[in-house]
Amino acid sequence: MYKIGNKIDEVRIDGNLDALKRDLEHYRKINIEAVELPAHGLDAIKNGFLDKRQLKRIKKILEEFNFQYSVHSPNPLNLMDRQNLEQHIFVFRASLEFAMEIGSKILVYHPGRFIPEETFPVMGNLKISSDEKQRLLDMEAQSLQKLSEEYPDIIICMENARPYLFHSPYTYAEKPDALKKQIEKINRKNVRATLDIGHLYMAAVFYDFDPVESAAEIKELIAHTHVHDNFGGAVYHYEKQQTHQIPFGRGDSHMPVGWGKIPIEEILSTYIEDYHGMLMMELRSRYFGDSDESGKNLENILDGITGTSPHEIKLA
């Protein structure tokens, strides 16, 4: 019903296709079954359009492997952008085209941000009126309705967001119930949710809700999963250095499964038996060498839930 995968880190690759091939070879060696490709980390999109020459190079590499693929759209992509929405729509469409070209059925999208992370330093803790928030929600929903109709074979998976000290709530997607409401408003069969378990736990600690109950409430919408571990502590947007955060249990650590405090087994138990997607480990590049351990820890969790090794189960 599901396959364990790992992401290609966009910063680690940074457009270097030799590095892409090297990492794919490593994943094959440790029996990873699926891979999430960053369209931006591969330089597949330039100025809003798919780079066909780069796409050809990427596809030639992918032909050497037998992974199932998902695609992550560029992180700054924001269908609530006030300055240049048309360019964001171009980038979104190019991401969908990239997914189609490589045979992926999943495109991960970070839902709209009322206050984009890139603007935090200049906008401060800007207060957005309820009317303006509703306008932006409507704008995003209309764009996603159109884009999903253009690419009906690609499932657009909207990912729940992590919180930030001082700037939250910068997006409705910090709270899974609000994400569910927006997906239901869009009302398209190929617009679903990516449950990011690490982000869910951080938001649960920050807003004081139960992450297991929250996962259960949106389980019917989950078409993709990001799995990684942390200790739940939110940080300010400028705190990027993991070596300074980890000693204090803070930050969106993206650590290997089993290294943090997240009740991963309890969260997965709410929906895994009826799940037909990928379990994509989203580890930071600093943990690349620990991918094998993370995968085995995840397998043990799944075995504890289902009593069956995931390698004995074929994707439905």
Task: Indicate if the pLDDT at residue 312 is higher than 60.
Answer: no
Residue type, position 292, single letter: D
Task: Give tens-digit pLDDT for 258-308.
Answer: 999 999 999 999 999 999 999 999 999 999 999 999 999 999 999 999 775
Task: Give tens-digit pLDDT for 173-226.
Answer: 999 999 999 999 999 999 999 999 999 999 999 999 999 999 999 999 999 999
Task: Indicate if the pLDDT at residue 1 is higher than 80.
Answer: no
Q: Supply the pLDDT for residue 313.
A: 39
Task: Give tens-digit pLDDT for 230-245.
Answer: 999 999 999 999 999 9
Integer Cα distance of 271 and 267 in angstroms: 8
Integer Cα distance of 132 and 191 in angstroms: 23
Token pair belonging to 186: 């869009």
Per DSSP, the three-state class of 25 is: helix
Q: Give the residue-averaged pLDDT of 23-41.
A: 97
Average pLDDT of every residue of the chain: 95
122 pLDDT band, cuts 50/70/90, is: confident
Token pair belonging to 219: 């389980």
Number of domains in the chain: 1
Q: Give the residue-averaged pLDDT of 86-97.
A: 98
Task: Indicate if the pLDDT at residue 157 is higher than 80.
Answer: yes
Q: Supply the pLDDT for residue 310.
A: 46
Axis-axis angle for helices 211-218, 197-207 (nearest 10): 120
Element (H, E) at 85: helix 85-102
Task: Indicate if the pLDDT at residue 20 is higher than 80.
Answer: yes
Q: Supply the pLDDT for residue 106.
A: 98
Q: Supply the pLDDT for residue 47.
A: 97
Integer Cα distance of 90 and 27 in angstroms: 32
Q: Supply the pLDDT for residue 308.
A: 57
Of residues 314 and 55, more confidence is placed in: 55
With vertex at residue 263, the alpha carbon angle to CA 259 and CA 266, rounded to the nearest 5 degrees, is 140
171 pLDDT band, cuts 50/70/90, is: very high
Helix %, strand %, coil % of the chain (to 5)? 50, 15, 35
Of residues 316 and 100, more confidence is placed in: 100
Q: What is the CATH number of the domain that holds 64?
A: 3.20.20.150
Q: Write out the residue range of the structural domain in which residue 129 sits.
A: 3-312
